């Protein structure tokens, strides 16, 4: 049975001042999806197996992120093959690390490869967004786009999709820590309200403009000054006990800046090099243990230069 | 009597998606200020003469933009000399082209030169802002900073001042048309209110991030897509009859984008080269004549690579 396997990485969305529009991809961890062509029957997408989810994700394709994304892709290109998906979750569920995006992206990339379609990038993104909407309750181009493309991605406009790939300064390294907490995305969103003070909004766009300039110039000091989120984080701080102290620990250990990943509970930090990132990861982990307790997962990764990738194609 | 003369250019602030934080400088027109050391008496700043203002600007130094800026500068450095200023207004008053900023900047640059101070850039900006507050009723770092520095300037933070000089793509040319209208800045500001819809604000920072990327990459198409102002212009459109049609005329003639300069009544457009800018200037001028009538001044200028400059020093 012809098959293809694709890996799609964790992503940090809502990066600081780039609420709802800026995300970046890690190199690891991530999700892996294998797509197999099922001969005979036509037009059926099924989930053969899921591992790494503790049995929490639905095997029914119409309720599964990867299943819905693949159905959308096959419908868009008018392809009649039946596909069976095997999903290996490397990302913790509901962590704020773009797990739904990663499964959806890995699935469409694997199907694109196994069917030899070479579908346009924006179509793959659009189909992955369909899937993510089922898995996460809403769709986040600032997870899906960097997951597919790698690096820092700015979503200038969601519909029609207009994304901008930003440069990644040499050395820039991400830290992510994942406390054992769950935060409902819908609750986090509700805290924001529908309007914001104009003065806060002005600060936010000034910061995002400067952040983009900092990426282009590899100006780490400017990246650090500009990353501050004037909108979402102050209004969501109560969702994560000790947020200010954990961020303070990151800065004191040498981070350029830090914030919530997505709508949390994970936190990210950006650092100028790997050594700094290792120190920051240790400091943030200790702060999370002290303030929140429970298990803490931490990741240190270069910003991924590439996004989702086909890792295996099997012809027989 | 030792003297120095400085020229400071017109500036466009509130550039599209960069409301309150993004401005750029033209090469011409601008204001010119001559500062003369007055021997004998100590610590007096006076306005010797003003031309080009039709007698509308105050000769009293404490009420004059240039006078207040120079007083602030002398106070900051503890300099006791008396200075007499001669101001030649090249910019129309209340045009939205940063006329108050230009007079204030030219004055501090001239005084800095005549006294051989080489004062820090941020001090000159801070003193010019003091002056501008008197002349314009409020201070606009996104006029003063590009006026002093040239090019595109992003004001990441006003206090403490943190400005970012952005690159200017080769060829990028500005058009400014000035209709015979007056718009009160305070009234324009009041139309904005204190809060804005979060969805509009998100669009604005996505656009500003993309605009900065477009400047760095010389991506004219992206600059054109990203320049759109989702916040101020829609709420201020009623201040300028025919705004939508004038903007449409600019785009149809080949402009990358256009908008109000400052809080109007002038409009700017950005164009990919001089030929395109000449066509756009003609089209915008015709549209302003048709929709607003009266006299129309128009300017076509490269984005200035340098800002305010000393044009003459006279030792005797």
Does residue B150 sit at the A interface (CB-CB below 8 Å)?
no
Give the integer Cα–Cα distance in Å for B232 and B223: 18
CA distance A16 to chain B (A): 12
Does residue B194 sit at the A interface (CB-CB below 8 Å)?
yes
DSSP letter for each residue of B199-235: HHHHHHHHHHHHHHHHHHHT-HHHHHHHT--SSHHHH
Q: Decide if A153 contacts A201 (C-beta within 8 A).
A: no
* Phi, psi of B90, deg, nearest 5: -100, -15
Partner-chain contact A21 B209, CB within 8 Å: yes
Give residue A182's pLDDT. 85
Does residue B222 sit at the A interface (CB-CB below 8 Å)?
yes
On the question of pLDDT at A199 being above 80, the answer is: yes
* Phi, psi of B124, deg, nearest 5: -60, -40
Give residue B41's pLDDT. 85
On the question of pLDDT at A69 being above 80, the answer is: yes
- Sort strands B81-88 and B45-51 into parallel, antiparallel or unpaired: parallel
Partner-chain contact B195 A192, CB within 8 Å: no
Q: With a cut of 50, which residues of chain B have pLDDT below it?
A: none
Partner-chain contact A157 B203, CB within 8 Å: yes
Using N-to-C axis directions, what is the helix angle for B99-114 and B121-136, rounded to 10°?
140
Q: Decide if A160 contacts A204 (C-beta within 8 A).
A: no
First to last CA, chain A: 5
Residue found by looking up tokens 């003609």 in the block:
B282
Give the integer Cα–Cα distance in Å for B55 and A125: 62
The DSSP letter of residue A1 is -
Residue found by looking up tokens 């830090």 in the block:
A258
Q: What is the ipTM of this complex?
A: 0.96
CA atoms within 13 A on the CB side of B2: 13
**B222 to chain A: which residues are within 8 Å by CB?**
156, 164
**A17 to chain B: which residues are within 8 Å by CB?**
205
Give the integer Cα–Cα distance in Å for B128 and B102: 9
Does residue B223 sit at the A interface (CB-CB below 8 Å)?
no
Does residue A205 sit at the B interface (CB-CB below 8 Å)?
yes
DSSP letter for each residue of B159-190: TTTEEEEEP--TT-EEEEEEES----HHHHHH
Q: Which of B24, B156, B211, B235 to mutate to test binding with chain A, by most A CBs within 10 Å of its CB?
A: B156
Q: Domains in chain B, start-ordered, CATH in brackets?
A: 3-165+305-314 (3.30.230.10), 173-302 (3.30.70.890)
Please tell me which residue of chain A has the smallest CA distance to B201.
A201
Partner-chain contact B17 A192, CB within 8 Å: no
Residue found by looking up tokens 């500005």 in the block:
B174
CB proximity list for A292: less than 8 A, separation 6 or greater: A179, A180, A181, A240, A241, A242
Q: Which of A85, A210, A267 is nearest to B162 (CA)?
A: A210
For the stretch B127-167, pLDDT in tens is 999 999 997 788 889 999 999 999 999 999 999 999 999 99
Secondary structure of A28-47 as H, E, C letters: EEEEEEEEEEEEEEECCEEE
CA distance A196 to chain B (A): 5
Partner-chain contact B212 A212, CB within 8 Å: yes
Q: Which of A105, A134, A138, A111 is nearest to A10 (CA)?
A: A105
Residue found by looking up tokens 């910003």 in the block:
A303
Q: Decide if B88 contacts B125 (C-beta within 8 A).
A: no
Give residue B36's pLDDT. 97
Give the integer Cα–Cα distance in Å for B7 and B30: 7
* Strand ranges (E), B116-151: none
Distance set, CA A91 to CA A88, A97, A200, A298 (Å): 9, 7, 33, 12
The percentage of residues in chain A with a pLDDT greater than 90, rounded to a whole number, is 89
Q: Specify burial of residue B185 (Cβ count, 10 A radius: 0-12, 13-18, 19+).
A: middle
On the question of pLDDT at A57 being above 80, the answer is: yes
Give residue B272's pLDDT. 98
For the stretch A165-191, pLDDT in tens is 999 999 999 999 999 998 877 788 889
Confidence tier at A41 by pLDDT (50, 70, 90): confident
Does residue A304 sit at the B interface (CB-CB below 8 Å)?
no
């Amino acid at each position: 049975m012809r098959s293809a396997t694709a890996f799609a990485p964790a992503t940090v969305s809502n990066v600081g001042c780039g609420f709802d529009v800026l995300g970046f991809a890690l190199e690891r961890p991530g999700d892996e999806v294998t797509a197999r062509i099922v001969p005979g029957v036509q037009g059926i997408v099924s989930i053969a197996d899921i591992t790494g989810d503790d049995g929490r994700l639905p095997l029914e394709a119409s309720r599964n992120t990867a299943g819905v994304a693949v159905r959308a892709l096959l419908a868009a290109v008018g392809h009649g093959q039946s596909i069976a998906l095997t999903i290996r979750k490397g990302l913790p569920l509901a962590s704020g690390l773009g797990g739904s995006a990663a499964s959806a992206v890995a699935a469409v990339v694997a199907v694109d490869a196994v069917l030899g379609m070479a579908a346009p990038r924006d179509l793959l993104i659009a189909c992955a967004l369909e899937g993510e909407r089922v898995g996460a309750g809403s769709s986040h181009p600032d997870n899906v786009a960097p997951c597919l493309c790698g690096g820092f991605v700015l979503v200038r406009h969601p519909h029609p999709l207009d994304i901008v790939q930003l440069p990644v300064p040499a050395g820039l390294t991400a830290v992510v820590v994942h406390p054992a907490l769950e935060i409902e995305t819908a609750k986090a969103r509700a805290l924001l309200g529908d309007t914001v003070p104009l003065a806060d909004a002005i600060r936010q766009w000034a910061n995002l403009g400067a952040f983009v300039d900092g990426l282009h110039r590899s100006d780490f000091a400017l990246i650090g000054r500009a990353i501050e989120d004037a909108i979402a984080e102050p209004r969501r701080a109560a969702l994560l006990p000790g947020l200010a102290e954990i961020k303070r620990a990151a800065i004191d250990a040498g981070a350029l800046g830090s914030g919530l990943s997505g709508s949390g509970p994970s936190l990210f930090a950006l650092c100028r090099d790997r050594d700094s990132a290792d120190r920051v990861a240790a400091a943030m982990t200790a702060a999370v243990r002290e303030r929140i307790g429970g298990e803490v997962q931490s990741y240190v990764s270069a910003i991924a230069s590439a996004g989702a990738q086909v890792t295996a194609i099997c012809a027989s």
